[in-house]
Amino acid sequence: MYRQITDNVRYLKGVGPSRAKILEKLGVKTIEDLLYYFPRRYEDRTQLTEIAKLQVGKFQTVKGRVLCSGQRLSFHKKSLKIFETAVEDKTGKFRCVWFNQPYLRNYLKDDKEAVLYGKVEFYDKHLQMQNPEFEIIDDAEEKDSLNYGRITPIYSLTEKLSQRVLRRIIKTCLDEYLPVLSDIVPHDVRMHHNLLNIAGTMLNMHFPQDALRQEAAYKRIVFEECFLMQLMFGLKRLKMDRISGIAHKFEEGLLKSFQESLPFELTAAQKRVMEEIRSDMTRSQPMHRLLQGDVGSGKTVVALYACLLAASSSHQAAFMVPTEILAEQHYANIRNLLLKFRQINAALLTSSLTKKEKEKIYAGIRGGKAHIVIGTHALIQAGLDFKSLGLVVIDEQHKFGVHQRLDILTKGLNPDCLIMTATPIPRTLAMTVYSDLDISTLDELPKGRLPVKTYLAGEEKRRWVYDFIRENLKKGRQCYIVYPIIDDSEKLDLKAAATMYEDLRKNVFSDFKVALVHGRLKQDERVAIMRAFQKGKINILVSTVVIEVGVDVANASVMVIEHAERFGLAQLHQLRGRIGRGSYESHCILVAEHSTEEADSRLQAILEENDGFKIAEKDLEIRGPGEFFGVRQHGLPELRINPIGNIGAINTAREEARGVLEKDPGLKARQNSGLAKTLKKRFPDYEKFAAS
């Protein structure tokens, strides 16, 4: 049978239907998926550390014998089960502790040999590792060259799949399919940058002969990923350059008069970005610009300026936001800022309007009397026609799917597009994922905005947390209490919003007004509760992450995030951004229990840093690119490598991609057929941008 990397993985020796279903949970369906399922790290098992030589504070690998006599399972309060065992080698003993994994007793049995990896700590006069990774071994496996006496790959796993089994499957895959792999990176490009061929790359990504060859393989994969991405963006750029848009003509003094009309001073960053947008909108090619800024950096004012430019040029602007209450907030703020521009009319369009109200607004949009239209998904409904849509602003873009963003653009003839996000994007990721867009960054906050003070509290400090909330409520402030889940779960031992709401309302804060909001409530109920909180009629809002993108409540100065270890770093930062919007000192309290090394890293980062861009870099560093900030929503494939530290490779790939497209803009040449085929497979939008 002729082998192809598109073959289903189930037909690989050692897999079969049942194991194929397990691999599918890892996103592995084909041979190609398996080849590109790279280790998340490596262990040098040629150099295991003896227990007597363990160093506190370092991550080290130990081989030892499990001592059943040193095992115990204890229960610390309701939510914490602790399993502890001792491990020894010829030089000494140390302890290993796992939290909420009591089932490990069934694996770590007396006299079993194990390899353990973790951070060495000194606790209660003993060396120990908390939640170390481990593999059970036996004499037969000791001789297996895939697992020991070499640089050993460590993969992310799923239930019913061990490292040993996955390594064997991948080795079988390499043996069978390396001979049929074709290299998509052109030969001259590989030679120019001293890159490994694809066969050598795959072999040394999975089973490196030494550290230098693994680094060479990684360098090649980084380049390949960036090269493909930059080719796709180059094709999109070529397509956009062929499209004619609106060259706006507006009054030159508009920026000055707009600045003078504002009740506050613009930051230097806001002025710089406004000039960038103004320059874009005077060109005949459509603007495609991403505006990123931390929470509270003043993106709305910049977007309003862009809308004014369109309106003053006799065109209309559509301002699309993800929620109705956010649309209402933007509408109210924009109308207030337009008081001195009475010739510009703003309209609000949401799904909850009556049919009669909608028809009236539709008529105003169709006739051109509505110059700036703020709305939700209602803006992309069939039957809504603009007289002359010249600008589309999309706020919190990651909340919209690709097709929703494209639908709003079809309401005009190649209108300018300004995409906004309050999720700061690391420069390395922006260069990789947003290379088809021009990027503007608001990297400073308006004067007078106070940083939020952030604290970490364990369960033992709950009394203090509640007392702190009460003190602030008595001062007239308001508070958010956020939970990761709505209802109690048998599988997850977590406090739930609905259950805790009842306890808080009836017992803890019975003398205050407490309300509950979550994603399962009907939209009109959520909106009513948020409005009441905004108006100060509710003292404490118990919530899930539904408030992550929400309204500004200047009086809310306290946020408590329960089970903070369960939230992502960017999510914690977004939640914290809900407070600190007024003139009062604000406080964010993270209630968390010790869990994993990664969770501890996230919590430490949010405690130490208020700068959203630095937090974004740390977030990318901790959890890798994966689905980072909705990569797949951009119509892009999931990244296979982490771009952190690879700006040089990204720039090199961009230059090489530019050179290839200059010579062959349609990728029609024979030597580029592999590139064209790969782009078509990995990028859903390829056909739209490939030159005919």
Give per-residue pLDDT as tens, 417-463. Answer: 998 887 777 766 676 666 667 889 898 877 777 889 999 998 889 99
Which of residues 492 and 197 earns the better pLDDT score?
197
d(CA 97, CA 104): 11
Check whether 10 has a pLDDT greater than 50.
yes
Instruction: Identify the pLDDT of residue 270.
Output: 94
Sign of CA dihedral 212, 217, 219, 222: negative
d(CA 533, CA 556): 9
Give the orientation angle of helix 647-663 with respect to helix 211-241, to 10 degrees.
50
Instruction: Identify the pLDDT of residue 160.
Output: 84
Nearest to 386 by CA among 357, 421, 349: 349
Instruction: Identify the pLDDT of residue 633.
Output: 42
Instruction: Identify the pLDDT of residue 365.
Output: 94
Per the domain annotation, does 661 fall within a domain?
A: no
Check whether 492 has a pLDDT greater than 50.
no
Per the domain annotation, does 76 fall within a domain?
A: yes
Same domain, yes or no: 469 and 583:
yes
Per the domain annotation, does 2 fall within a domain?
A: no
Same domain, yes or no: 491 and 394:
no
601 is in which domain, residue-wise?
453-609
Per the domain annotation, does 583 fall within a domain?
A: yes
> Which pLDDT band holds residue 360 (cuts at 50, 70, 90)?
very high
Per the CB < 8 A criterion, the answer to whether 321 and 405 are in contact is: no
Percentage of the residues of the chain whose pLDDT score is greater than 70: 89
Which of residues 513 and 131 earns the better pLDDT score?
513
Per the domain annotation, does 164 fall within a domain?
A: no
Q: Is 45 helix (H, G, I), strand (E, B) or coil?
A: coil
Per the domain annotation, does 404 fall within a domain?
A: yes
Contacts of 463 (CB under 8 A, 6+ apart): none
Same domain, yes or no: 486 and 363:
no
Same domain, yes or no: 397 and 491:
no
Per the CB < 8 A criterion, the answer to whether 418 and 291 are in contact is: yes
Q: Which of 141-155, 394-408, 562-576 is least confident? A: 394-408
Instruction: Identify the pLDDT of residue 491.
Output: 46
Instruction: Identify the pLDDT of residue 644.
Output: 62
Same domain, yes or no: 258 and 393:
yes
Q: Which of 154, 185, 218 is the last residue of a domain?
A: 154
Residue-by-residue DSSP string for 176-218: HHGGG----S-HHHHHHTTPPPHHHHHHHHHS-SSHHHHHHHH
Same domain, yes or no: 391 and 467:
no
Q: Which of 301-310, 490-499, 550-559 is least confident? A: 490-499
Q: Looking at residue 51, which CATH number applies to its domain?
A: 2.40.50.140
Check whether 29 has a pLDDT greater than 80.
yes
Mean pLDDT rounded to a whole number for the chain: 85
| Domain total of the chain | 3
d(CA 198, CA 201): 5
Mean pLDDT of 658-664: 91
Instruction: Identify the pLDDT of residue 550.
Output: 60
Mean pLDDT of 297-310: 92
Mean pLDDT of 481-495: 65
Per the CB < 8 A criterion, the answer to whether 613 and 583 are in contact is: no
Q: Looking at residue 502, which CATH number applies to its domain?
A: 3.40.50.300
Contacts of 175 (CB under 8 A, 6+ apart): none
Instruction: Identify the pLDDT of residue 518.
Output: 82
Q: Which of 135, 154, 173 is the last residue of a domain?
A: 154
Q: What is the largest CA-CA distance in the chain?
A: 86
Per the domain annotation, does 562 fall within a domain?
A: yes
User: Which pairing describes strands 92-99 and 126-130: parallel, antiparallel, or unpaired?
Assistant: parallel
Q: What is the pLDDT of residues 528-558, one digit of tens each?
A: 888 899 899 999 999 887 775 566 788 999 9
Going by the DSSP 8-state scheme, the letter that residue 508 receives in this structure is: I
Q: What is the pLDDT of residues 43-91, one digit of tens each?
A: 887 788 999 999 998 888 899 999 887 778 777 665 678 889 999 999 9
Q: Which of 154, 178, 213 is the last residue of a domain?
A: 154
Overall pTM > 0.75: no
Same domain, yes or no: 353 and 496:
no
d(CA 602, CA 92): 34
Percentage of the residues of the chain whose pLDDT score is greater than 90: 40
What amino acid is encoded at 424 in this protein? P
Q: What is the pLDDT of residues 620-654, one digit of tens each?
A: 777 655 444 444 444 455 667 666 667 778 888 88
Same domain, yes or no: 274 and 323:
yes
Q: Environment class of residue 154 by beta-carbon count within 10 Å: exposed (0-12), middle (13-18) or buried (19+)? A: middle
Q: What is the pLDDT of residues 195-204, one digit of tens each?
A: 999 999 999 9
Same domain, yes or no: 263 and 411:
yes
Q: Residue 407 is encoded by which pair of tokens?
A: 């639908």
Same domain, yes or no: 605 and 466:
yes
Per the domain annotation, does 67 fall within a domain?
A: yes
Check whether 364 has a pLDDT greater than 90.
yes
Per the CB < 8 A criterion, the answer to whether 328 and 554 are in contact is: no
Same domain, yes or no: 370 and 507:
no
Q: Which of 377-381, 451-455, 476-480, 628-632 is least confident? A: 628-632
Checking 184-193 for CB contacts under 8 A at 24+ apart, the result is 184/224, 184/228, 184/674, 184/675, 184/677, 184/678, 185/220, 185/223, 185/224, 185/227, 186/660, 186/671, 186/672, 186/675, 187/671, 189/227, 189/656, 189/660, 192/656, 193/223, 193/652, 193/656
Same domain, yes or no: 535 and 582:
yes
Q: How many CB atoms lie within 10 A of CB 177?
A: 20
Q: Which of 300-309, 325-334, 502-511, 617-626 is least confident? A: 617-626
> Which pLDDT band holds residue 511 (cuts at 50, 70, 90)?
very high
